[in-house]
Amino acid sequence: MNQVVEAAHAKINLTLNVIRRREDGYHEVEMVMQSLELADIVRLRQVESGIRLKTSSAQIPAGKDNLAWRAAQLMFGRFECTGGLEIQLEKRIPVAAGLAGGSTDAAAVMRGINRLWGLQQSTEALCELGARLGSDVPFCVRGGTALARGRGELLTGLPDCPPLWLVLVKPPLGVSTAEVYGNLRLDRIGERPDNEKMIEALAEKRPGSIAAALGNVLEEVTVQMVPQVQGIKQELLRAGAVNAMMSGSGPTVFAIAEDENHARTLAKVFEHKEYTVIVTRTINQNSDMHAAHGTTDE
Ligand code: ATP
């Protein structure tokens, strides 16, 4: 085996609460994260030496600043990996969108190197190492449905989310997560999500209760920076979405639909606008996450 293909799944936040600002400058969060079927395709090939990266997107760095490249460097520094690696990224996840595009590519590279070199590292070990690259990397290594605490790296598995069809709508501009957190005023947070309620809704597998328990304290911050977020949300609700909310630090808004047809109907509302519109669905950790994996021998 000298090549592997990893699906690097996007995530949404079903909830996002910020508790406080820590002494180290990070924010302490409590959020329910959910993997989506939408994924970048990450192809890894063992080569003689060095780390090389090719990407299908001009919007992300092609070299050492790419999180996928940094993930490879981290793994090579930590484990005995002979030779080098070529990484090919086929980007399908919108960039700087609140969907963890960079983190999930990094996680896929870590999983892929683990397989290619037969390192036999556990998911937990990869999560712990991945936290050095970014707070969302551990969740992306693991996937599925999980409660994330600390700065996002402390994960507790939650009951699988029942299958939900979603529409993602992203306005043209991206936002920087750091800037959104920088603009957050903890004393001005209005309504906070109730994570207990969300966890209960997940355990009961009730889409309606999951939709009702959505909540993200960063939404009102990002709306100040990208007012279209508010407009998109209202338009989705007006068009009949079960509920709609911004994911992560945004600016992507996701809507929960009744079923696939309903999701496609909602997506049509934005057909002639300058937005990126994607119909996708939630996936579970074990049954669906590894479906796109492939290995090839040369
Ligand atoms: P999160 O939801 O974790 O906050 P995001 O979806 O908002 O992440 P990303 O798509 O990860 O944001 O992009 C954030 C920044 O990371 C961009 O400015 C981008 O240039 C940079 N970046 C580095 N490597 C990658 C990558 N492999 N894919 C996407 N962005 C990357």
CATH classification of the domain holding 146 = 3.30.230.10
Q: What digits encode the pLDDT tens for the residues 45-93? A: 999 999 999 999 999 999 999 999 999 999 999 999 999 999 999 999 9
102 lies in the same domain as 173: no
Residue at 211 is within a domain: yes
Beta bridge partners of 11: 35
Q: What percent of the chain shows pLDDT beyond 70?
A: 96
- Burial class, 165, CB count within 10 angstroms (exposed 0-12 / middle 13-18 / buried 19+): buried
The verdict on residue 294 lying in a domain is no
Confidence of residue 273 (pLDDT cuts 50, 70, 90): confident
Q: Please check whether residues 130 and 170 belong to one and the same domain.
A: no
User: 31 and 176, same structural domain?
Assistant: no
| % the chain with pLDDT above 90 | 93
User: Are residues 155 and 189 located together in one domain of the fold?
Assistant: no
Q: How far is the CA of 112 from the centre of ligand 1 (A)?
A: 19
Domain assignment of residue 239, given as a range? 165-281
Cis peptide before 172 (omega within 30 of 0): no
Q: Convert 116-154 into a string of H (helix), E (strand) and C (coil).
A: HCCCCCCHHHHHHHHCCCCCCHHHHHHCCEEEEECCCCE
Final residue of a domain: which of 138, 159, 180? Answer: 159
Domain end residue (candidates: 159, 180, 209)? 159
Residue bearing the CA closest to ligand 1, atom 1: 100
Phi then psi for residue 218, to 5 deg, are -85, -15
Which CATH number goes with the domain that contains 230? 3.30.70.890
- Give φ, ψ of 168 to 5 degrees: -105, 135
Q: Is the CB of 99 under 6 A from ligand 1?
A: yes
Question: Is 289 contained in some domain?
Answer: no
Q: Which of 27, 33, 177, 225 has the most ligand 1 atoms within 8 A of CB, as the residue to mutate?
A: 177
The pLDDT tens digits of the residues spanning 163-198 come to 999 999 999 988 999 999 999 999 999 999 999 999
Atom of ligand 1 nearest to the CA of 93: 10
Do 154 and 22 lie in a common domain? yes
Same domain for 48 and 150: yes
Place of tokens 């924010």: 27
In 151-233, beta strands by DSSP E: 154-157, 165-170, 215-216
Residue 288 has what pLDDT?
59
Q: What does the pLDDT read at residue 287?
A: 60
- Same domain for 179 and 250, yes or no, is yes
pLDDT at residue 293 tops 60: no
Residue 297 confidence (pLDDT): 43
pTM exceeds 0.85, yes or no = yes
Over residues 113-164, the pLDDT tens digits come to 999 999 999 999 999 999 999 999 999 999 999 999 999 999 999 999 999 9
Angle made by CA atoms 53, 59, 60, in degrees to the nearest 5:
35
Task: Report the number of distinct structural domains present in the chain.
Answer: 2
Kindly indicate the confidence band of residue 291, based on its pLDDT and cuts at 50, 70 and 90: low
Looking at the fold, whether 118 and 193 belong to one and the same domain comes out as no
136 shares its domain with 172: no
155 and 50 together in one domain? yes
For residues 150 and 108, give the distance between their C-alpha atoms in angstroms, rounded to a whole number: 22
Let me know if residue 286 belongs to a domain. Answer: no
Judge whether 296 lies within some domain.
Answer: no
Residue 229 predicted with pLDDT over 60: yes
